[in-house]
Amino acid sequence: MPTATDDQPHHSHSEEPYPPLPARETLDAAGDILRALAAPVRIAIVLQLRESRRCVHELVDALAVPQPLVSQHLRILKSAGVVAGDRSGREVLYRLVDHHLAHIVVDAVAHAGEDQP
């Protein structure tokens, strides 16, 4: 026979409130970063840049992707604040703005690899 408490919502064992959420602007910025990282070529670019600065032709060679496509992906990463370009003579050397971003990508790749047979 049901008791009066069966109709009440069940709570977790811990009655602590949820942790406070960051400001909406922070959540929006995090979403922008994750969207910028959400392409295999851009993930590969971040993995390349975590080791050292690279120019476009080095990324083209490492990724075996056409130069216009690498440049397009770099523009997306740059506009999201993931990478920055520094001119060195006639070339632009790209680098990660923040190495936290490399950790996000490395962790995502490692997690995806765990599901493989």
The pLDDT tens digits for 28-52 are 999 999 999 999 999 999 999 998 9
Question: Is residue 70 within 8 Å of residue 45, measured between CB atoms?
Answer: yes
What is the distance between the alpha carbons of residues 70 and 77, in angstroms, rounded to a whole number?
Answer: 11
Which pTM does this prediction carry? 0.79
| Cα–Cα distance, 40 to 58 (Å, whole number) | 17
Burial 21-50 (b: 16+ CB within 10 A, else e): eeeeeeeeeeeebeebbeeebbbbbbebbe
Backbone angles phi, psi at 95, to 5 degrees: -145, 160
CA distances from 16 to 5, 11, 12, 54 (A): 21, 10, 9, 47
Classify residue 80 by its DSSP letter: T
At residue 65, the pLDDT reads 96
State the pLDDT at residue 100. 86
Give the residues of the chain that fall short of pLDDT 70. Answer: 1-16, 115-117
Helix or strand or coil: residue 96? strand
